[in-house]
Amino acid sequence: MDQPRHQIDWRNGNVPVSRQFDDPFFSLENGLEETRHVFLTGNALPARFKPDFHIAELGFGTGLNLIAAALAWEGSGQQGRLHFTSFEAFPLAADDLRMALAGFAGAAPYVDLIATALAGDGKITTAQLSAQIIFGDARVTLPAWDGRADAWFLDGFAPARNPELWEPALLAQVARHTAPGGTCATYSAAGAVRAALADAGFTVTRIPGYGRKRHMTQGVLS
C-alpha cells in the first residue's frame, strides 16, 4: 500500500496530533469514552445492532472507532459479523498506531490486525468482524463505493482544519450510501455541517457532546 503516511506529533505522552491538520486524533481526556459517546450513543448503538449491520466511517485514524464498535458487537450477543467500511486518505504508520492504541483496554487483540491492514489491502476479517479500509480521497472513493451503511461515523478532523471531508457534496454522498432509516453521528456541531447534512436528507439533532464539547450532531435519514 503506497498511500502517504500521516505525520504526527505527540501530546500528553500518547495522544497523536496531526501535523497536517494541527488537530488531535481523539480526546485528550479519554479517547475510547469519547468514541463510545459520540459514535455509539450518537447512532443508538448497540441497541440497533442486527444481523449484517454495516457501519461506515469518514476518517479511520487510529482505528479506535472500529475497536469500540467491534467490542460493542461482541458484547451484544449478535451472531455473525459486524461489517465496517472506513475511508482514509492518510493512514498511520504501524509504530505510531501501536503507540496511540497502547493505553486502551480491549484494544490489544486488534492492534496487529489493524497494522497489517494499513500496510496491505485494508481488510480485516475475524469470526465477528468484516472490515475494509478504503484508501484515498473520500471525495473520489465514496462515490465509487457500492455499499450502504446502517450507521455513519463522521470523524474527519475539525471542519475548520479539514474542510474537504465536510463538503456538502461529500455529505450528500454519505446520505446516498445510507440505508433507509440509517443514522449518522459526529462530534462536530458546526452550523455548516448540520445544514449540509439536513440538505442531504438527514433529520439533524444537536445533542450534548463529550467532555468539554457542549454539543455534537446526530442525524437520521428522512
Question: What residue type is 93 in one-letter code?
Answer: A
N-term to C-term CA, the chain: 38
Place of cell 490486525: 113
Residue 201: phi and psi, rounded to 5, are 120, 5
What mean pLDDT value characterizes the chain?
A: 90
pLDDT band at 88 (very low <50, low <70, confident <90, very high): very high
pLDDT band at 181 (very low <50, low <70, confident <90, very high): very high
**177-205 mean pLDDT:** 97
What is the DSSP code (8-state) at residue 36? I
Question: Angle at which helices 94-101 and 108-119 pack, to 10 degrees?
Answer: 160
Q: What are the tens digits of pLDDT across the range 8-30?
A: 776 776 777 776 766 676 665 66
Q: Would you state the pLDDT for residue 4?
A: 64
Classify residue 56 as exposed, middle or buried by CB count within 10 Å of its CB (0-12, 13-18, 19+): buried
Q: How many CA atoms lie within 13 A of 188 on its CB side?
A: 22
Q: Would you state the pLDDT for residue 157?
A: 72
**95-110 mean pLDDT:** 86
Residues facing residue 123 across a β-bridge: 132
Cβ atoms 51, 78 nearer than 8 A: yes
Cβ atoms 25, 61 nearer than 8 A: yes
Residues facing residue 24 across a β-bridge: 17
Separation of CA 6 from chain center: 16
Helix (H), strand (E) at residue 118? helix 108-119
